[in-house]
Chain A
C-alpha cells in the first residue's frame, strides 16, 4: 500500500463510519462491558435487526465508553442527529430498542439516563470536564476493524513521519512536544528516544509496556481494547525515530480481551502493509510481536520486563546501564507505556504546539485516570493536566456514595500515597502530586471514605509489595516483610509506641537501599498515611480502637436496647459469650467474644452492633 491508497481507503472508510442513512449502533464491549453483559446485548441487537430485515443498520462492539455504572451502554448514531445513549441495557431492552428506535425511529426515553432527561452522555458533567486525546476513539470505533481507525486519521501520522521527516526530526518533534512518560516516572519521552537513537547497533528494539500492575488501574487495558492501532502506529513511529525494526508488546496475562484485539490489529495492519517490510513504500521495515506476562507486578519495571521477555525470572537489575544503551538481549531498547504511546500519533498529526496547548507548563497534555473506590461515578476519565483533584472527585466523580464523608484519595498505587481534603485544590500534574506527598503513578485514583481505616489501607498495599517483591535485594525482600508484620500487629491491637518508631526507621532504610523503584517506593503508602492520619495510628496503638470500625480485633460487639430476649444469638454463639434470660436484654462477655459476627447475622431485630 502507498499513501494514495491509504487516503483512498480513508475516504471510503469514513463514509462507512459516518452513516449517511440508517443507524450506527455502538455497544461498549471492553472487559468491563462484557462482564456486565455486553455480548448478550450485541447478539440480541443483531438478531432482532436481522429478524426484522432492517437495512442500513451497523451494529458494532467498541471499547470502554467510560462510565462503568451505566454498563452495558448502547449508543445510537444517526445522520444529522445527536447520539442517543441507552444505559444498563439487557436483552429485553435491546429488543425494544430495535423494535422502536431502529425500526420506527421512536426513541425510548425510559432506557436513557434519568428516564430521558439526559439523552446522551455528552450532556453530563462527567464528560464535560474531560478532554479526550488518548481516548479519542475509545468507545466509538470498532477496535476489531482497521478501517474504522483509518477513517479517523489512522496511520496518517506514520505516513507523514515516514515520507516527510528524517529520524532526527522525528525525535526533535517528540522532544518539543514535552510529552512525559505515563507509566509512572514521567520521564520525557523525546529525551529517552534521543538516547537510544544516538547509539549505533545492528539491532534496536522498542517495547510497549502493557503490564499495568497498579492494582486498581485499567487505563492501559482500555486503550488496548478500544484503540489498539493507535499503540501499534506509535510503536512504528518510535521505531523509525530510534532506528528499531522490531517491537514487542509485553501484556499482562490477565488481559485476554486486549491480547485478542491486539492480535487482530497486528494481522490487519500486516495485511494492508502498514506493518512489516517497506511500510508505505518508504523502505522502512517494522514488525511487532506480543509477549505475555505471567502474573508478576515487578515485570512492569523496565529491567525486569526485559528479563521476562528474554524468558527469565523477572528480576530487576542495577541501572546504569540504562535500557536505551543496553536493553533487550544487550541491544539499545526504548520502553514506553501504553498511554504514552497512544498520545503519539496525534502529536505528529497536529504538532507539538497543539499538544502543549493542553495541560501545564511542565506537564503537557492530558492524563487518563481510573476512578474507583468510594465514588459515585466510577470509570475512566481523561482530563487535561492542571485541573484540580476537587474537580475530578466532586464534579466528575460526584463525591462519595450514600452521603458518606470523603477521607482521602490514593494515587500512585503501591508506590504512591494518600491526598486529603487539605490538598484537594492542588492542580494535577507530575510535580504537584509529588509535592503533596503522593505521585501520579500510572493513573489509579481510589477514593476512600470515613468507613475505611487508613492503617488497614497501608497494610493492604504493603501486603501487595511483600507478595510482589522479586526477592533479589534484601531491603525490599526482608524489610517490607518486617514492616508488614508491624502493621499486622497494630491492626490486631498489639502495637506499641516503639513500633511506630521502628516503622519510620525501616521505611527510611528501605527507601535508600533497595535495588529498584519497587522497593524504594514500597514504604510510601505507610509514610503518607502515618503523616496524614497519625491520629488513626495512635488510636490503634494507645486506645486499641479502630475509629473507622474496620479492624475486627479492635471492635466490640454489643447488644442494644432493641433486644427482645429471643435467645437466637445465644444459640449461634460458638464460644458461649452471650448470656441473658428469655424476654430480657442479653449481654456479651467481651473477654470471651471472638468477634465472628454470627450473632449479628442471626438477630432478627438488628439489636446487635459493632462498635
Chain B
C-alpha cells in the first residue's frame, strides 16, 4: 500500500462508522519501490490530498524526513519538494502490517502490500 492510497482510503463502509478516516497504520514491513517521477502528476494530486494526514502517516512509519509539515504556496515550482512528495506518495510502500479504523478499532490486515478491506456479513451497512 502506497501512502497516496492511504490518503484516500476509509473504513466508512463499516456499519456504524461515519467517516472512518484517517486509518492508523501499523507497519511491520516497509519497502521502497522506485517509480518514474512525474512532476505534473504530483502537483495535480497535492490539492486533493489531506496533507496533514499524509505527513502524520509518513511520520508514523518513519518516512517523514525532509517532508514539510505544511505546503508552501508555490509548491509547483519547487522541484525538490515535488520529488520528496513523490517519494512519500508513490515509492514508500507498506508491505505487511494492518490499518486501524479510528472509530471502531477494527483492524484491516495488509499482506503482500494489499490491504484487505473485505467485511463480514454482520459488518456490512
**A, B bound:** no
